[in-house]
Chains A and B, each alone.
Chain A
Amino acid sequence: MIIPLIIVIISFLLDGILSNYLPYMLGDLSLFTLYFTLVSIIIIYPLFVKKLKNYYILVGITGFLYDLFYTNLLFANTIFFLLVTYIISFLYKKMALNLLTNIFIVILSLVIYHAIFVLCLFIFNVVPINFEKFLYLILHSIILNVIYGEVLYLICKYLPTKRRLN
């Protein structure tokens, strides 16, 4: 329980620090949009399978803090994170866990997250949004998050806590 929590906290802080400094270090290159917090809560799911209630509480709190620290959208990411993790949990049950499926799960979670987000922007008419922007958001967030997802997967793999999917 403690190690997944540490993983989420580190990812959460990295999200804030790197989003401040990465654009500066990489210039106008926007291909590396960070969603480390989301990736971390997706990757730690197998560590919680027998304690799903605890997992969703952690996801909810993380989403709430994410809104408070980084987005100023009270409760929006709390709902998005819970929805994404709930959908991904079904996928986890159907798949074997390895490096390749991990890449697939990270990409799919990013797609679902952006899809829900864009749908909300469209429904509530917050800003004009179209399919091109949706694709832009996804494509610009894949590379770094997949790499981070793989790193976290390897860390989780060698943790003493047993990972289960069913």
Chain B
Amino acid sequence: MYRKNKKKKKIIIIIIIVFCSFFLLFYSLSSNRKMTVVESFFKDVASVVMKGVMLPFTSLNADKDSDLTESYVIQKNLNVHLEEEIEQLRDALDLNQTLTGYDVVNATVINRNKSYWYQTLTIDKGKKDGLKKNMVAITKDGLIGKIQKVTNYSSEIKLITANDINNKVSVSIATTSGETTAILSGYDKDNNLVLISGVDSLVEINVGDVVTTSGLGGMFPRGIYIGEVETITNDKYGLSKTLGVRMNQNFNNIHYVTILKEETK
């Protein structure tokens, strides 16, 4: 009798453990999980520890300053006359927000996410530096992703190479006959190309055409360089094209990033 009860108890405990494990896994693997205050606190502590551990390695990186300067200069397209003109036009039109009005925050990568599909980077800047969710991350070589989670002292950037159905970017392709917009929605890991699918087959696109962000959708500002078209394939019905875009960015070698945040007035 006692043995039977013991066995029953054991089975109940195992069922409870399995149920709890499933619940925890479902919770932790859900992509739109919100970060709790406790998790945010632990993340902050973890980022401070990681920053300390990585300090000798990051300080050894010689191209730090040039990387940040180039990033700033190339990506921001700081043309004094153009900025003045934009400012005047903005005042004239009384626009609160434009696709080009952004400040920059430079940050150091302190960690890479090890989950293979997640493809995220952790940087050493967070809410205290004015960063928010969905802000855009770039380097001197172009767009790399957007902020997915923010704590007080760190942020997590989801890379555009992430294998995630929600990871879509509205892009503009500069063709010989003008600009056409499409959606960047995939990554070919074997050939290291980002994929643009669903491009109208009637639009003439050539290898070497430049792909930038279109600014549509409100998430990414207009004109951030992504790469050049390298492969063009038609679907089997001949209705649409899929483009493979070669990026200049080496995603294995990102140590410093620039975050674009909306200009403070």
> Which A residues contact B (CB, under 8 angstroms)?
13, 15-17, 19-21, 23-24, 27-28, 33-34, 65, 67-76, 79, 120-121, 124, 126-129, 137
Contact = CB atoms under 8 A, between A and B. Distances in A.
A76 B28 contact: yes
A14 B111 CA distance: 12
Nearest to A66: B114
B25 A24 contact: no
Which of A15, A72, A137 has the largest number of chain B CB atoms within 10 A? A72
A21 B54 CA distance: 10
A1 B231 CA distance: 57
Given A20-B57, A120-B29, A72 B156 contact: yes
Interface string B97-120: 000000000000101111111101
Given A72-B118, A75-B24, A17 B57 contact: yes
A24 B118 contact: no
B154 to A, nearest CB: 11
A126 B31 CA distance: 8
Nearest to A70: B114
A68 B113 CA distance: 10
Interface bracket on B: 35 or more
A72 B149 contact: yes
Query: Chain B's interface: helix, strand, loop or mixed, by majority?
Result: mixed
Contact of A127 (B49, B149, B163): B163
B53 interface: yes
A15 B114 contact: yes
Interface in B72-108: none
B43 interface: yes
B252 to A, nearest CB: 4
Given A13-B53, A71-B114, A73-B115, A23 B25 contact: no
B164 interface: yes
Nearest to A79: B21
5 contacts: A72-B113, A72-B115, A72-B118, A72-B120, A79-B24
B19 interface: no
Given A23-B253, A73-B118, A129-B117, 11 more contacts: A16-B53, A17-B53, A20-B57, A20-B112, A24-B255, A27-B252, A68-B43, A72-B120, A73-B29, A124-B26, A126-B31
Given A76-B29, A120-B25, A71 B113 contact: yes
A74 B111 contact: no
Nearest to B24: A75
A106 to B, nearest CB: 17
A27 B21 CA distance: 37
Q: Nearest 5 A-B pairs (CB), nearest first?
A: A23-B252, A75-B24, A76-B28, A127-B117, A24-B253
A128 B165 CA distance: 9
